[in-house]
Amino acid sequence: MSSTGFFMPLESDTASRYCPLFEVRSNRKEKSSIPISRLCVKMKAATVPFESGMSFGFKDLMKTFTVNVQRAESRALNVPLFEPFTIASSRLEMVENVAIRIELSNGCVGWGEAPILPFVTAEDQPTAITKAGEVGELLQQRPPCNLGSAMMQIGETLPGHEFASVRAGVEMALIDAVANSINIPLWRLFGGVSNSITTDITIPITSASNAAKLAAKYRDQGFKTLKLKVGKDLRADIEVLQRIRTVHSDCKFILDANEGYETEEAIQVLDKLHELGVTPTLFEQPVHRDNWEGLGIVSRIARDTYGVSVAADESCRSLSDVKRIVEEDLAGVINIKLAKDGVLGAIEIIEVARAAGLSLMIGGMIETRLAMGFSGHLAAGLGCFKYIDLDTPLLLSEDPVHGGYEVSGAVYKFTNARGHGGFLHWDSLAW
């Protein structure tokens, strides 16, 4: 695979079906001009049989595949959690997301999900349902067009961070429907580097005793990396870390403050952990997203003094954000979440970050296996993520998704099922 592309070479016996293509470059002014692929899928029809070893470049498909949306629907996707999910900025009692279903004129269906996380995503559930309905009507009214034009329509109707979550859900559903149409799994569509990933698992802000109980459970399930939500109480955070070490002594730590610390507090955490002989593998969003100076200070001290990388999450919600992070050396890792930028926006950020030499993390916003399946396929297909944080379905007490990826402890295995392979029993969802 090209180091910057979404492409896997075709076997010699199938290459004759495809035509050479000059370097694919975006016509967006802000986007880095990075070659993506040199082969294109020569198709505009509905279905092409999948053969082992065959791969289709996603960006070429944007130009060559014609979509005709027959139906687009959205409904509430409410799922209980095992226990409340508390982070520095919010507390979630249950998941109240939005499921999106798109059906093409060829009968192929795609599924997406717009997560709703208060104080993190901009949309609430009623707004997301309304906006998904609006863009769905526009897609149905639109005459047949290539996938890229349809995606442009979605972006223009649901622009910016304000509608990023629902934009991501609609884009997921449309891409999934197209992958179903050409009969290939998403991990192959996005590059085919791997068909599996290994995720960390999150311990929310909770008591030290409960955190230790969760850590012991996850140890027994085979999780090697624990992501700890911190940032509300510095002393309590240190106590939780100490208790977890007593039950899972060899685990790796990711600390996620969700903007919770002031600059000096974040540095104190690193100092205290160093005294305890604990070095986190990553320190995620230690300060408020608008505290750019503090982010840079913490990042440089963490890197130069303790050998710890700092990840920008809430501080990186757009292409302009990642460019600022690169130019001012504010973080060493970018956390990619589809709900922050949409699918196409995330791909742009991935390309710029990789070109700048930043490491990548992929995460989620308390989604079911619909959205996590899509993100997991993207991560497996590209193979460029150093940190995988796609555990949120494991925090739900119910799994409404049928099919999809296989779970074995911390390992997700993606099959050759078409698209991301997951679906819902649509009529069982609330209107």
Establish whether 284 is an annotated binding residue.
Answer: yes
380 lies in some domain? yes
CA distance 16 to 19: 8
Range of the domain at 277: 196-428
102 lies in some domain? no
- Is 229 among the residues known to form the active site? yes
Give me the catalytic one of 59, 131, 229, 340. Answer: 229
With CA atoms as reference, report the closest residue to 61 among 21, 30, 34: 21
Beta bridge pairs of residue 146:
66
Rounded to two decimals, the pTM is 0.86
With CA atoms as reference, report the closest residue to 39 among 9, 3, 1: 9
CA distance 59 to 343: 12
- The tokens for 377 are 């396929």
39 lies in some domain? no
CA distance 122 to 273: 34
With CA atoms as reference, report the closest residue to 203 among 219, 190, 188: 219
352 lies in some domain? yes
Residue count of the chain, please give it: 431
333 lies in some domain? yes
Beta bridge pairs of residue 255:
228, 283
Establish whether 290 is an annotated binding residue.
Answer: no
Give me the catalytic one of 59, 131, 227, 337. Answer: 337
Number of domains making up the chain: 1
E strands, 16-121, are 19-20, 39-40, 66-67, 69-86, 91-104, 109-114
- Is 337 among the residues known to form the active site? yes
pLDDT tens per residue, range 214-229: 999 999 999 999 999 9
pLDDT for position 143: 96
- Indicate which CATH number applies to the domain containing 246: 3.20.20.120
347 lies in some domain? yes
CA distances from 167 to 116, 156, 391, 404 (A): 12, 10, 22, 22
pLDDT tens per residue, range 373-417: 999 999 999 999 999 999 999 999 999 999 999 999 999 999 989
End-to-end C-alpha distance for the chain, whole angstroms: 43
pLDDT tens per residue, range 57-100: 888 899 999 999 999 999 999 999 998 888 887 788 899 999 99
179 lies in some domain? no
Mean pLDDT of the chain: 87
Establish whether 233 is an annotated binding residue.
Answer: no
* Percent of the chain scoring above 90 in pLDDT: 78
269 lies in some domain? yes
Quick check: 325 and 334 in contact, CB under 8 A? yes
